[in-house]
């Protein structure tokens, strides 16, 4: 079975009918497998396609895709958006008193699945040119748990609460104060307890437009959990939260799952592992199709995802495995310092920051870990010369390229136009094409307007733009936000290659432990009272930095026996006690 996909935003001419299939074996046999449709766009007839690839390889705009699928999946088609458009095969099934995790890349149907399970979208079962029929959906899932689920959903017997993926769009829909938003949906009468547990504090009295990304995320989670629902669908709850807040959020969801059905989409694998009881892996091709695997235990599913292969279903969906190391990675940065600084302080009316003396070497990446609102961005701005220290001096001159935490996406420019406008012709150089554009998968977004990009697409563009600028020091704030797990690993490798190849240096602020593990040579650890005071260590070795940071959080990580990935230990378990006593909170001896 073959799936044909037309990316309409990339299709720009009618030449397909003449040039792309001139030598197509099907056409030469007297049948047209591709024709021009009514809208001047090509239509590929999948029942005639033999997968020769000629139309795909001839298309000058990369607008056509032909993907092979197992024949048996044809009977499990759940939803298709149109002819030669994205389609979703299979669905995960919510379970009572349990957290079902959804793990997979962006653009392969996870949000579509949540929309179907919430009742917002009625699946058409592949009949995209007809009206979706609820009775047909119930009949389609006969003999499975989803049959009863959809029957109750469509009869109004199930109440659904949804935490949206993009929390930065909430202030557009609600203009009032955060407390009013939560109070409006607080059907369980737990607004006070939930606000205290999530650490909302002063955020409740702020207008929605004044909230930071982390505050918006916590307000969205609180508003969702305050609803008296049967099913809670939570899309990417950890974005913009620091690791302490992520653990707090995960613990709350685990507790609340004892009295409801929870389904969570998450890309921070440490938190995902901690929060999930069972997992459905989503695999497929971006923008073409997505397939939901059968449910598996969390450990087996995450290891299969990292390996790129589901043994139980005899499916390989990625040609390489993602590997972790039991011990600190051996990296050798240059011994030539780019900049150094003595003890720095910065004082505002209601906040103060103190930083111990340190510096960064050429070809080195320094990771920055710590709670939100403890001065990480202020420190970066002092290095960039945007903020002047109250005391202390930064020695060494360095041109700076900065990727901020929040990215402006209102421009009408296309991605290509914006990159050329800011960096000239550097994007055409072979190194950047191979080491930046290809691993960040930017090929298919270059002709899109910035204001039409998804959160993940915008993040990848922002990382590329930062690295394309001609600078000595790259300051990168939260690069993993809205990226899926594999894209995070790719982004970490891209940052390292650019630093090593160009003998550049970088400070990377990040809350994803796995990302920091892959990207950093040394670590700075920030601590303090959020919004009032912060203090920063000098750059430490990876072992010392991780031990210091996790000791502050009062958690330990063990290593998985198969993939070596870090896994959060249960508090006061045997392994937790042993690692605390040995002082190895993260890496093994």
For residue 366, give the 3-state DSSP assignment. Answer: strand
Cβ atoms 526, 371 nearer than 8 A: yes
Quick one: how far is CA 98 from the chain centroid?
A: 23
Q: How high is the pLDDT of residue 175?
A: 83
Q: What is the pLDDT of residues 279-332, one digit of tens each?
A: 999 999 888 899 999 999 999 999 999 999 999 888 898 888 888 877 776 666
d(CA 114, CA 458) in angstroms, rounded, equals: 22
The DSSP element (H or E) to which 519 belongs, if any, is helix 513-519
Find tokens 């609460």 and name the residue: 161
Residue 382 and residue 524 in one domain: yes
**Same domain membership, residue 487 and residue 368:** yes
Q: Is 39 contained in some domain?
A: yes
| Residue-wise burial string across 165-190, b where 16 or more C-beta atoms lie within 10 A, e elsewhere | bebbebbeebeebbbebbeebbeeeb
Domain shared by 575 and 474, yes or no? no
What pLDDT score was predicted for residue 264? 97
Taking the chain (589 residues) in consecutive chunks of 10 residues, what is each chunk's mean pLDDT? 79 65 75 78 83 81 79 83 91 95 92 95 90 90 94 96 87 87 93 91 87 88 95 92 91 92 95 95 90 95 94 88 77 77 93 94 93 87 86 86 79 89 89 93 86 88 94 91 90 94 92 90 92 93 92 91 89 92 85
- Does any domain span residue 81? no
Using CB atoms within 10 Å of the CB of residue 418, give its burial: 0 to 12 exposed, 13 to 18 middle, 19+ buried: middle
Dist. CA 492–CA 471, nearest whole Å:
18
Residues 508 and 574 in one domain: no
Which residue range(s) make up the domain with 572? 554-589
Residue 360: closest CA among 504, 516, 497, 463: 504
Residue 225 belongs to some domain of the structure: yes
d(CA 269, CA 274): 8
| 213 inside domain | yes
The confidence score (pLDDT) of residue 334 equals 67
Residue 432: count of CB within 10 angstroms of its CB: 19
End of a domain among 213, 229, 245?
229
Query: Based on the domain organization, do 459 and 562 belong to the same domain?
Result: no
Question: What pLDDT does 398 receive?
Answer: 81
Read off the pTM.
0.86
| Same domain? 582 vs 515 | no
Q: Please report, for the domain that includes residue 51, its CATH number.
A: 3.30.70.20
> Is position 267 within any domain?
no
Q: Write the CATH number for 492.
A: 3.40.50.300
Integer CA distances (angstroms), 335 to 266, 363, 400, 516, in order: 39, 9, 20, 21
**Segment holding 146, helix H or strand E:** helix 145-154
Total count of residues recorded for the chain: 589
Burial of 32 (0-12, 13-18, 19+ CB in 10 A): middle
So what's the pLDDT on residue 295?
A: 95
Does 436 share its domain with 525?
yes
Domain termination site, one of 198, 229, 260: 229
Is 62 a domain residue? yes
Structural domains counted in the chain? 4
My answer on whether 413 and 530 are in the same domain is: yes
Q: Per residue in 3-14, pLDDT tens?
A: 888 877 777 766
Q: Give the distance from CA 40 to its chain's centroid.
A: 35
Q: What is the pLDDT of residue 21?
A: 65
Q: Does one domain contain both 441 and 582?
A: no
Domain end residue (candidates: 195, 229, 263): 229
- Residue pair 348/531 in contact (Cβ under 8 Å)? The answer is no
Q: Which two tokens stand for residue 483?
A: 């990226």
């Amino acid at each position: 079975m073959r799936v044909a996909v037309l990316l309409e935003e990339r299709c720009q001419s009618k030449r397909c009918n003449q040039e792309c299939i001139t030598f197509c074996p099907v056409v030469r046999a007297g049948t047209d497998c591709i024709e021009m449709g009514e809208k001047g766009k090509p239509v590929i007839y999948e029942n005639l396609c033999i997968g020769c690839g000629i139309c795909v390889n001839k298309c000058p705009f990369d607008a056509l895709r032909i993907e092979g699928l197992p024949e048996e999946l044809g009977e499990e088609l759940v939803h298709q958006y149109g002819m030669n458009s994205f389609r979703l095969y299979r669905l995960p099934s919510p379970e009572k008193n349990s957290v079902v995790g959804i793990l997979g890349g962006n653009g392969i149907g996870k949000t579509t699945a949540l929309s179907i399970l919430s009742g917002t979208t009625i699946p058409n079962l592949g009949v995209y040119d007809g009206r979706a029929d609820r009775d047909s959906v119930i009949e389609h899932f006969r003999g499975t748990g989803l049959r009863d689920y959809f029957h109750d959903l469509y009869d109004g017997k199930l109440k659904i609460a949804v935490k949206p993926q993009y929390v930065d769009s909430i202030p557009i829909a609600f203009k009032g104060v955060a407390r009013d938003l939560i109070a409006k949906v607080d059907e369980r009468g737990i607004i006070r307890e939930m606000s205290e547990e999530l650490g909302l504090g002063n955020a409740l009295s702020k207008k929605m437009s004044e909230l930071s990304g982390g505050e918006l995320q916590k307000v969205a989670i609180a508003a969702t959990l305050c609803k008296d629902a049967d099913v809670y669908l939570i899309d990417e709850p950890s974005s913009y939260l620091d690791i302490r807040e992520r653990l707090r959020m995960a613990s709350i969801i685990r507790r609340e799952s004892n009295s409801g059905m929870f389904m969570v989409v998450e890309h921070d694998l440490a938190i995902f592992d901690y929060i999930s009881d069972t997992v459905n892996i989503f695999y497929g091709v971006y923008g073409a199709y997505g397939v939901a695997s059968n449910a598996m235990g969390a450990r087996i599913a995450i290891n299969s995802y990292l390996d790129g292969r589901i043994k139980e279903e005899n499916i390989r969906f990625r040609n390489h495995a993602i590997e972790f190391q039991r011990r600190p990675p051996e990296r050798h940065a240059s011994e030539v310092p780019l900049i150094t600084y003595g003890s720095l302080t910065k004082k505002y009316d209601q906040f103060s920051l103190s930083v111990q003396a340190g510096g960064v070497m050429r070809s080195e990446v320094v990771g920055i870990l710590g709670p939100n609102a403890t001065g990480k961005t202020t420190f970066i701005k002092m290095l960039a010369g945007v903020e002047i220290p109250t005391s202390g001096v930064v020695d060494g001159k360095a041109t700076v390229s900065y990727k901020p935490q929040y990215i402006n996406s209102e421009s009408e420019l296309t991605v290509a136009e914006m990159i050329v406008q800011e960096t000239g012709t550097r994007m055409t150089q072979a190194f950047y094409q191979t080491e930046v554009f290809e691993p960040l998968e930017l090929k298919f977004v270059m002709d899109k307007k910035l204001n039409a990009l998804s959160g993940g697409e915008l993040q990848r563009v922002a990382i590329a733009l930062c690295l394309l600028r001609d600078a000595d020091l790259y300051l990168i704030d939260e690069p993993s936000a809205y990226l899926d797990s594999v894209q995070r690993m790719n982004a970490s490798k891209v940052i390292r290659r650019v630093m090593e190849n160009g003998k550049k240096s970088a400070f990377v602020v990040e809350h994803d432990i796995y990302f920091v593990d892959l990207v950093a040579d040394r670590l700075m650890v920030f601590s303090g009272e959020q919004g009032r005071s912060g203090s920063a260590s000098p750059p430490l070795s990876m072992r010392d930095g991780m031990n210091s940071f996790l000791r502050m959080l009062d958690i330990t990580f063990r290593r998985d026996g198969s993939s070596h990935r870090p896994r959060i230990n249960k508090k006061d378990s045997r392994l937790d006690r042993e690692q605390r006593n040995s002082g190895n909170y993260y890496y093994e001896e």
